Structure 1
C-alpha cells in the first residue's frame, strides 16, 4: 500500500485533509501547492458535527478547540429592520445529544493549521504550480510551471473552484453569474458591539440581502459575511476587496446595532458568487476531484469546508481498501459522494431566494415557518452523516 504514488494538487483545507486521512490509512502522498507558504484567505466558517467528528478521528481536536468557539445559539434568524428574533436554536443542549459533537466557528486559517498538523511535513511541496495533467499507461503525468513533471498512480485535484485538474479532466466548465456578491470582514472583539460577542451564529434577513455574524479565533474576532446584489461586478476571487462605504451602503436603513457592527469592521472582501451545476462525473481513470474542484456550493448551508473534509475521509477509505485497483477505488469514492454533495449544492442554491424575500406575504410566511422549525433535527441528513462509512 505504501508504494502507491498519490499526488494531491492543492494545499488548502481539502487537499491537506486528503493527505491527513491518507496518512492515517497508511498511504503516503505528496501535496503540490502553488503558493510559497500554506495559508487560507477568507475569514470564518462554521464547523458542524459532521466535520468535527472527522477532526476528532484525525487526533487534532485539542488543537481545534483551542482556536474555535463553541456555539451555544445557532440559526438565530433576525429581522433586518429592528433585529426581532424570528427563530433560534439551543445548540449547547441539543447538538451533542443528537450528533455526538458540538457546533463551532473557526477562522479558516486556524482550521488549515489544525489539519496540517496531521500531515507529515515531508509530504508537502510548496511553490509547485500544476499546469496540466495527462493520463498515461502507468498512471497520470503532472506538469508544473517550472517545466518539471512527475508521474502518479492517483491524482487528486483539490485545487479549488478554478481547478486546473478539473479543466484537464473535463474541459472548460463555465459558471453562471448568480447576481449576488459576498462581503467578508473581521471586527476585533474590543471594537464589536456586545450583541455580536455572544457565542451565537446570527443571520439577519432582509430584502435582497442577508448578513451573518459570529465570533471566531477563540473569541478574539467577530466574523461577518453578507450577501447583496452584485451589480456588474463578476469577479470571483477571495482576494478582491471593496470600500467600507460600499459595504455600509448595502445595509443603509437596517437596525442601528447592525450598522454599528459594520462600522467597526476592517476593509471588506467582496466577490461575486458564480453558480455551477453539479457535475455528472468527476473521476476518470487515475484522476479524481475533491472539495470545491468537484462541487463548489453557495455558502448558505455552511458546508463547503465540511464537504471537502468528508471527501478526504471517504477517499482514503476507498483507496486503502482497494489499493491494487486505484481507478476502481476512485469510482467507488465518487459514487459514495456525488449524490450527497449534489443535494447540498441544490439546497444551498435554493436558500438564497428564501433569505432575500422582500417584505410582504412571502416574507411573512417564511418568518412564520422559521418560528416553527427545528433546523438541527431537520438537517440530520447533513450533521449525522459519517463519511467513513462508505457503501
Structure 2
C-alpha cells in the first residue's frame, strides 16, 4: 500500500487546524507545529459566516457550534447618534435557507476549541517555533528553535500575519500600520443590570465604529470591538490592556445602548490594526501559505478566519489523491482557485463600508468551498 502524503502545517490557529482536519478527511498524514506552549482562550468574539459554516459542517462541527454560539436575527447597522438603521442584514432562518448554513456569533475560544477537537492531540506539537525550511531529496525539512527537525512531503504556512514561512519564502517585510486601533473584550451580560442589547449591531460614527453582539446562545456573554484613529499606537499584542476610561471617552455621544455597554465594561484589550498588501504568489515548490499568512484581512467584514477556513477546504480538495511530485501543481491550482476571491474580500474589508448601506452579500455568504469549481 502506498505511503500517504505527509504535510506539516506551521501554525495551529483557525486556518491551520481547519486545514489539518480537512486533510485528514482525504487520507493525508498531518502534523501541526505551533510555537505557543498552550492554547489560550482569548477574550474575543467571532462572527462565523454561512460560508465558513459550510466548511465547518463538512468537518463535523456544526452541532457543537450551534450549541455553543448565538443565532442572531440580523447584523444591524445604525447611525452612531440617531440610531437610524443604515442597513439590516437579515440572518436567522431565512439566511440559513438561502445560503445553506447558519450565521453564528461565537466566542473565539469556542471556535478554536471546536477545530482543535477535530484534530487528534498527537498530531499537534506545541512549543515548536519554526526557524528554517530546506528542500531535500526526502521532502521539505523543518528546523525548529527548540532543536527539533522534521521532514514532510509538503509544508503549509498557516502562521498568521507575521508568518515566518512567508518570510522564508519571499523575504521579510514589515506590516503596514493603518493608524487605527481596536479595543475589544467579552464580559458577562449580567453586568448590564437587566438592560438588553440588540443581537448584533455595528454603530457607524464619522471616523470610528463599535460592534456589539452576544456570543452565547443564552445571551449570557457579550462582545464589543471598536475601530478608531490613533496613529501613534503600535502595539499588536492580543494581551495588551487598554484603558476603559479612554474607551468610554472615545464613544461619548454615541447611542444610549453603546454608552450602557461601555459603562458596564470592566476592562478591555487594545491593539493596533495592521494590514499587508496581497502577495504576487503564495507558494514555492512544495511549500505554500494559507489564511492570514498570504491574505491578511482588516477586521471590518468579519471574514478573516472565514477566508482561512475556506482555504482549508479548497486546498484539501486540490491535494486529494496527490503524491509528492504533484504537490507543487496542487498548490498552483489552490492559489488560482482562491486568489481572486481573497483579494476582493481584502479590498472590500479595507474600505470599511461593508453593510453600511443596502448590500448584496450573496457573493460572500453563498460561497461553498466544498463544491466551488477548482482551477484547471
TM-score after normalising by structure 2: 0.93
The answer for unaligned runs of 5 or more in structure 2 is none
- Structure 2 equivalent of residue 305 of structure 1: 305
Deviations 1:221-256 (A, max 9, x none): 111001110231022222222111121121122223
Once residues 134 and 220 of structure 2 are traced to their aligned partners in structure 1, the CA distance between those partners, rounded to angstroms, is 46
The answer to whether structure 1 residue 228 and structure 2 residue 228 are counterparts is yes
Aligned-residue offset at 1:94: 2.5
The answer to whether structure 1 residue 66 and structure 2 residue 48 are counterparts is no
Aligned-residue offset at 1:42: 4.7
- Structure 1 equivalent of residue 362 of structure 2: 380
Alignment of 1:358-377 (within 5 A): 370=357, 373=358, 375=359
- Structure 2 equivalent of residue 51 of structure 1: 52
Aligned-residue offset at 1:283: 0.5
Asked if the contact 1:196–1:222 (Cα under 8 Å) also holds between the matched residues in 2, the reply is no
Once residues 3 and 104 of structure 2 are traced to their aligned partners in structure 1, the CA distance between those partners, rounded to angstroms, is 35
Q: Secondary structure at the match of 1:69?
A: coil
- Structure 1 equivalent of residue 210 of structure 2: 211
User: In angstroms, what is the RMSD of aligned CA positions?
Assistant: 1.8
Aligned-residue offset at 1:142: 1.0
The answer to whether structure 1 residue 263 and structure 2 residue 263 are counterparts is yes
Deviations 1:35-89 (A, max 9, x none): 2222353511111110111111111111111111111122x11111232333323
- Structure 1 equivalent of residue 112 of structure 2: 112
Aligned-residue offset at 1:120: 2.1
Asked if the contact 2:93–2:102 (Cα under 8 Å) also holds between the matched residues in 1, the reply is no
- Structure 2 equivalent of residue 25 of structure 1: 26
Once residues 299 and 63 of structure 1 are traced to their aligned partners in structure 2, the CA distance between those partners, rounded to angstroms, is 25
- Structure 1 equivalent of residue 200 of structure 2: 201
Q: Structure 1 residues 35-44 or 256-265, which shifts more?
A: 35-44
The answer for unaligned runs of 5 or more in structure 1 is 356-365
Aligned-residue offset at 1:124: 0.9
Once residues 93 and 153 of structure 2 are traced to their aligned partners in structure 1, the CA distance between those partners, rounded to angstroms, is 47
Relative to 1, partners in 2 of residues 1:211 and 1:195: Cα closer, same or farther, differing over 3 Å?
A: farther
**Structure showing the higher helix proportion among its residues:** 1
Relative to 1, partners in 2 of residues 1:193 and 1:316: Cα closer, same or farther, differing over 3 Å?
A: farther
Once residues 236 and 28 of structure 2 are traced to their aligned partners in structure 1, the CA distance between those partners, rounded to angstroms, is 35
Relative to 1, partners in 2 of residues 1:257 and 1:60: Cα closer, same or farther, differing over 3 Å?
A: closer
Relative to 1, partners in 2 of residues 1:164 and 1:123: Cα closer, same or farther, differing over 3 Å?
A: same
Deviations 1:297-318 (A, max 9, x none): 1111110111111111111111
The answer to whether structure 1 residue 139 and structure 2 residue 139 are counterparts is yes
Once residues 31 and 119 of structure 1 are traced to their aligned partners in structure 2, the CA distance between those partners, rounded to angstroms, is 9
Q: Structure 1 residues 309-318 or 83-92, which shifts more?
A: 83-92
Alignment of 1:97-176 (within 5 A): 97-176=97-176
- Structure 2 equivalent of residue 360 of structure 1: none
Once residues 91 and 34 of structure 2 are traced to their aligned partners in structure 1, the CA distance between those partners, rounded to angstroms, is 37
Once residues 31 and 364 of structure 2 are traced to their aligned partners in structure 1, the CA distance between those partners, rounded to angstroms, is 30
Q: Secondary structure at the match of 2:241?
A: coil
Q: Secondary structure at the match of 1:217?
A: coil
Aligned length: 370
Q: Secondary structure at the match of 2:36?
A: coil
- Structure 2 equivalent of residue 177 of structure 1: 177
Asked if the contact 1:78–1:85 (Cα under 8 Å) also holds between the matched residues in 2, the reply is yes
